[in-house]
Amino acid sequence: MRKIITFGAPVAVLGVGAAIFAILELTKPAPEKKTEAARPLSVFVQDVEEANVDLLVSTSGEVRARTEVDIVAQVAGRIAAVSPEFMEGGVVEAGKALITIEDEDYRLSLSQAKARVAGAEVGLQQALADADVARKQLQGAKGASDLALRRPQVAEAEARLAAAKADLEQANLNLERTRISLPFNGRIRSKDVDIGQYVQPGTRLGRAFATDAVEVRIPLSDSQLASLDLPIGYVAPTGNEPKVNLSAQVSGHEQHWQGRLVSLDAAVDPETRMVYGITQVDSPYAESVSQLGMPLAVGLFVNAEIVGRRIENAVIIPREALRAGNKVFLVHDGRLTIRDVTVTHSSNAEAVISSGVQAGEQVIVSSIRNPIEGMALEPMRYGFDESSIADHHMPRATGG
């Protein structure tokens, strides 16, 4: 009995404790459950604006010379002299000799040609005198032939004189060609020969371009043509060409030049599907330098901006409000609305919308992760200067 009590007492105590714990668990009150409503997502919004807008098309291109030629020798000989300006970047004056070829042989040829002309003139005078004598001797004779009247001899003498004069003209021309010059003011682009070198007709001596005007060939997409409201093959009326603002970073500064859109290609480029336009700048190294005195140099890559057509009462949204090119997120009654829009024109800053949104609506300009139609939103104003949007040019238009 003592052993039973010794081992049974602890067991009984454990059993009673377990029973008490079970009773407490069964009788304890249920915990109070609290349900919290989903917290709205905070987003930045801006109002859709309405304003008059001048569409601004932005593109780029490389400056090239309107006139650029190879300087080529037309006669053979050793180069006797080279102008100090005949060097890369040298200034070319129209008619001023850049290269002189030895002319002794050509002067001798000229003297010989003059002698042949003099001999031919004597021969013609002799033939005319003989013909006059023959005509007098055969005066009244019937059936006198042309040969008897010495008419063929006179024709032959006249032909010899004409040939001698042609040789004289050629000799003069060859002598003039020993002085190589250009018919325009310009700059030397490259130099291929120097003093003492022997050249043949057709030898390339260098390359030069005219500085009276340069061109910038700019690509335009179909939407950009629509913004400009210009047809393919357009040729601008003289004095009424669309203005083109050109800019580039040169010498550590933003340089600006003014050009004119003079024409558009009459065909679409088959590789890029673009239409190219020609922007012209007159006197790029003198009167039309930038505001800081920088010339519009050939080979420079520049940005080009052209003011296009005007849209009255255009609906405008910030560019960052566009999603996937043609969708916008709006806030209506604290809920997300996803809507398709039609973009008439867009730039790096703004987009003109022809349908899908209305002035006064709120578009979301901040990012939203996993957007779901109807999700709760808390709109917050994003700094936007409404005064900057009315009656303005859209910057850096990309054609939308």
Q: What is the CATH number of the domain that holds 248?
A: 2.40.30.170
Structure tokens at 1: 């009995």
76/200 same-domain check:
yes
Q: Which 8-state DSSP code applies to residue 15?
A: H
Residue 31 has a pLDDT of 64
126/114 same-domain check:
yes
Residue 398 has a pLDDT of 40
174/251 same-domain check:
no
d(CA 334, CA 52): 30
Q: What is the CATH number of the domain that holds 374?
A: 2.40.420.20
Residue 400 has a pLDDT of 34
Residue 10 has a pLDDT of 67
84/198 same-domain check:
yes
In a domain, 9, yes or no: no
From 175, 209, 243, the end of a domain falls on 209
In a domain, 24, yes or no: no
CB 396 within 8 A of CB 348: yes
In a domain, 6, yes or no: no
pTM: 0.71
Structurally, the chain folds into a number of domains equal to: 3
240/337 same-domain check:
no
Q: Which residues of the chain have pLDDT under 50?
A: 384-393, 395-400
- Integer-rounded Cα Rg, in Å, for the chain is 45
102/195 same-domain check:
yes
The predicted-structure confidence for 143-167, as pLDDT tens digits, reads as follows 778 787 788 999 999 999 999 999 9
| 3-state SS assignment for residue 112 | helix
Residue 276 has a pLDDT of 97
Domain that holds residue 246: 58-65+210-310
Q: Residues with Cβ < 8 Å from 273, sequence gap 6 or more?
A: 221
Residue 385 has a pLDDT of 46
In a domain, 29, yes or no: no
In a domain, 19, yes or no: no
From 164, 183, 209, the end of a domain falls on 209
CA angle 386, 392, 394 (to 5 degrees): 100
From 209, 228, 260, the end of a domain falls on 209
How does strand 377-381 pair with strand 41-47?
Answer: parallel
296/335 same-domain check:
no
d(CA 4, CA 385): 94
316/264 same-domain check:
no
Which CA distances in Å does 77 have to 81, 230, 398?
Answer: 12, 54, 56
250/214 same-domain check:
yes
In a domain, 13, yes or no: no
| Signed CA dihedral, 259, 275, 315, 40: sign only | negative
In a domain, 251, yes or no: yes
272/345 same-domain check:
no
Residue 144 has a pLDDT of 73
In a domain, 246, yes or no: yes
